[in-house]
Homo-oligomer: A and B are copies of this chain.
Amino acid sequence: MSKKYVYLFKEGNADMRELLGGKGANLAEMTRLGMPVPQGFTVSTEACTRYYDDGKVISEDIQEQINAALAEIEEINGKKFGSPENALLVSVRSGARASMPGMMDTILNLGLNDEVVAGMIKGNPDPKFERFVYDSYRRFIQMFSDVVMEIPKKTFEVIIDEIKEAKGVKQDIELTSDDMKELVVRFKAYYKEQKGEDFPTDPKIQLMEAVKAVFRSWDNPRANVYRRMNDIPYSWGTAVNVQPMVFGNLNEKSGTGVAFTRDPATGEKALFGEYLINAQGEDVVAGIRTPSKIDQLAQDMPEVYEQFVKVAHTLEEHYKDMQDMEFTIENGKLYMLQTRNGKRTAAAALKIAVDLVKEGKITEEEAVLRVEPKQLDALLHPQFDTKALKAAKPIGKGLAASPGAACGKVVFTAEDAKAWAANGEKVVLARLETSPEDIEGMAAAQGILTVRGGMTSHAAVVARGMGTCCVSGCGEIKMNEEAKTFELGGMTIKEGDYISLNGSTGDIYGEAIPTTEAAIVGDFDVFMKWADAVRTLKVRTNADTPRDTAQAVKFGAEGIGLCRTEHMFFEGERIKAIREMIVSKTVEEREKALNKILPYQQGDFEEMYRVLEGRPMTVRFLDPPLHEFVPTKDEDIAELAKEMNIKVEDLKSVIEGLHEFNPMMGHRGCRLAVTYPEIAAMQTKAVINAAITVNKEHPEYNIVPEIMIPLVGEVKELKYVKDVVTSTADKIIADAGVELTYHVGTMIEIPRAALTADEIAKEAEFFSFGTNDLTQMTFGFSRDDAGKFLDAYYDKKIYEADPFAKLDQTGVGKLVKMAAELGRSTRPDLKLGICGEHGGDPSSVEFCHNVGLNYVSCSPFRVPIARLAAAQAAIKSKKN
């Protein structure tokens, strides 16, 4: 017997998410719970995978199963596909394992053809009904042509505009039943003109083509971008849900809406939502009409409202989480079309998780799992500078769709947003409304402003998911997208002008308002305490200044995992001394220059030790190639030569001598210390002296300096530099007559270091995985150059994630694991950490937990994310 690819809703349940997709599984679950769900069926994700495996063909056996399921739902619903008397119309919707709102295609009203339309009208003489039927028909033709046949929707809009012009009307709603009828005729003619054949009339053919189109849409560019941004594997595929249509646009006793069991912006426990009378779902989601609040339903249709409140309550109790529900009312009767765990802001996520624990519905550990670590970003994002904000006056107000503050130059297309941002500009994207094609531009923008659409519009939902500030539905705006200007509050804002948005209030400003760092409030501390309680992986930070260090400590950093000492070299007098060192010709000259740097560096370390109050700090010795410290332009070289009182030619020849073909693989890291051990000696002095000084001030800190040698590939190399460090340090300690323990360790960032980690651990007291460089070397491409081809790699599904953002567990991870095991085989108590960008990426943090690292280290603003990710990893690994 053939494998089962098609499931009636009544055959499934919520646990079958992988097979049925989120939507399908929840429709099945609602069916099991006895809720009013139009009974349909789900074509499984495995059918999608098979579709691709078979070369984009739906195999015979799957087609048979679809037709069989169709027959069953005809039976259940008492309607028949293609029957003029009693027509079954269906919606065909995608539904992946993970929610991908708006990313894939949907077709409504499928099953219509001339005979069915005629039959329907015959059965209901109401002229409004006739108009409704023709409206549905023309919508179906338009949607089917767009989604299935790739005739752009816009080209049909042109025909509508022609008719509107001919009739002298402005709104679709003003078109009559006859106008709609004519639209159908002209749409079909246009279709034939475009495709060279008649619009398909057989509903079964329509259905099969629609299913294929949904499968295809799994692979459309915006879905691919969304998946990459959200770590959703391409291999999962999407399910397809085929569900009998119910019509929210049938009459004034009909409507459609979206609601949440708690406020997705604040987490407040109250039914929250919007609906539109006499509308189809797409009208709400697309944000073309601004909908009413859900409370209005209590007055419009009290019984339906009561029933819906009960359903909502049951669903939240059942799923023990905030639900996001879609419903339709057809002629006074409620139908549930979807429920899912609702997307929410970070603040809401925290509040809901904490409230659910308080309500006794979930445990603290379950609560910890309820918040996406990446979401915390939103809490940590900039807010307006309070003073500047007081002085500013809003020019308008929209909906507070996604919290945070944004300030940037306004752009009017997603492409511009992307391009300007790529040039280092901070931009705010202003649009009439956003659509899924805009996703990359939205991601590149500081904030998003739309003229149309509510709190559940595309712009709002996507912005919240991204943690990007968004103000939506500001109808006052007069937008001229063509001219790239808009008018608001008497101002004309042109492309490139600064505007500012407050996503928490909806305020719009026609000026730049400086933003300040985020402030953590509310349930954050309670929640993070739960996370910390279960977490075993320590979280440190990458910080090079006392200010960053203080910030990170505030965010819960347990120390510094990576202090990049070279960042201290660029300011004022320091860079002069560094350059003096670079042009030195003898060890003595070099030492003289280094002696000038010593007090600065030591002072920085002292300050950081003070801020850390006893927390550990790993100091990485000089890493970048020396040419990074010298100018490249002729005029700058000339100026510097004058300043340094040396000949221009001499300086030029030094700089030319520093040139490297592949700086990433050049004279840097510990290679500098091997050739110029006096640099390592100076840095050792700075660290050890600083520790001794601050220990004297605060004996309770008991500072144990950690010195980290970068770019080691061979144990003898580490040994050589370590000998410089220990001989220098031991002398200082002896001379000072103090007791001071210190550790010398290494970065593991060169593949050879990972491969020979057992040898390296003989000298290294700790390892810190530098996964940025390790990724570069393991993949053999540099981060700076990979941009030229990585897009092609994403398009062609060769890579699904940026290996510099998300640790490549297969390749780089194998080296990390190998190094951890080899290292500990030599030195069982070897301390292991990670200090690459990956230290703040949740999936990478989970990997670090699983391979047994002791800590991760990440930038200050990612510390809370890492803390939460580490906690979730601990809970998940307990479960396994």
Contacts and interface: CB of A to CB of B under 8 A. Distances in A.
Interface string A780-821: 111011001100110011110000000010111011000000
Contacts of A36: none
Interface stretch (A147-155, A193-201, A667-675): A667-675
Contacts of A665: 662, 664-665, 776, 780-782, 785
A696 to B, nearest CB: 34
A752 B811 contact: yes
A162 interface: no
Contacts of A785: 660-663, 665-667
Given A711-B780, A793-B717, A661 B661 contact: no
Contacts of A773: 780
Contacts of A662: 662-665, 782, 784-785
Contacts of A666: 781-782, 785, 788
Interface in A212-234: none
B661 A780 contact: no
B751 A789 contact: no
Nearest to A789: B671
B713 A779 contact: yes
Contacts of A663: 661-662, 785
Instruction: Give the one of A773, A777, A799 with max B CB within 10 A.
Output: A777
A792 B751 contact: no
Nearest to A810: B756
A755 interface: yes
Nearest to A788: B667
B793 A674 contact: yes
Interface in A739-787: 749-752, 755-756, 759, 773, 776-782, 784-785
A539 to B, nearest CB: 28
Interface string A650-683: 0000000000111111110001001100000000
Contacts of A675: 788-789, 792
Contacts of A664: 661-662, 665
Contacts of A781: 665-666, 671, 713
A247 to B, nearest CB: 45
A548 interface: no
A78 B267 CA distance: 105
Nearest to A660: B785
A570 interface: no
A716 interface: yes
B716 A797 contact: yes
A781 B668 CA distance: 9
Contacts of A667: 785, 788-789
A319 interface: no
A159 to B, nearest CB: 33
Contacts of A814: 755-756
A714 interface: yes
Interface string A226-251: 00000000000000000000000000
A773 B662 CA distance: 13
A671 B711 CA distance: 27
Given A662-B664, A811-B713, A796 B756 contact: no
A664 B784 CA distance: 12
Nearest to A666: B785
Contacts of A752: 778-780, 808, 811-812
A470 B798 CA distance: 57
Instruction: Give the one of A674, A711, A784, A811 with max B CB within 10 A.
Output: A811
Given A661-B664, A665-B664, A785-B660, A798 B720 contact: yes
Contacts of A674: 789, 792-793, 796, 798
A782 B751 contact: no
A751 to B, nearest CB: 4
A812 B660 CA distance: 23
A811 B671 contact: no
A660 B792 CA distance: 17
Given A662-B662, A665-B664, A781-B666, A798 B714 contact: yes
Nearest to A781: B665
A788 B799 CA distance: 35
A760 to B, nearest CB: 11
A2 B226 CA distance: 73
Instruction: Give the one of A663, A664, A759 with max B CB within 10 A.
Output: A664
Interface in A265-287: none
A755 B784 CA distance: 24
Contacts of A711: 780
A324 to B, nearest CB: 35
A9 B16 CA distance: 85
A751 B815 CA distance: 10
Contacts of A789: 667, 671, 674-675
B782 A661 contact: yes
Instruction: Give the one of A660, A756, A780, A810 with max B CB within 10 A.
Output: A780
A770 to B, nearest CB: 10
Nearest to A658: B788
Nearest to A752: B811
A540 B792 CA distance: 35
Contacts of A780: 665, 711, 713, 749-752, 773, 777
A780 to B, nearest CB: 4
A711 to B, nearest CB: 7
Contact of A720 (B782, B796, B815): B796
Nearest to A669: B780
A665 B777 CA distance: 8
Nearest to A776: B665
Nearest 5 A/B pairs, CB to CB: A752-B811, A750-B780, A665-B782, A662-B782, A666-B785
Given A665-B782, A714-B811, A752-B811, 12 more contacts: A661-B664, A666-B785, A713-B811, A750-B779, A751-B780, A752-B778, A752-B780, A755-B810, A755-B815, A756-B811, A773-B780, A777-B777
Interface of A: 660-667, 671, 674-675, 711, 713-714, 716-717, 720, 749-752, 755-756, 759, 773, 776-782, 784-785, 788-789, 792-793, 796-799, 808, 810-812, 814-815
14 contacts: A661-B663, A661-B782, A663-B785, A666-B785, A671-B781, A674-B789, A717-B793, A720-B796, A750-B779, A755-B811, A755-B815, A756-B811, A777-B778, A777-B780
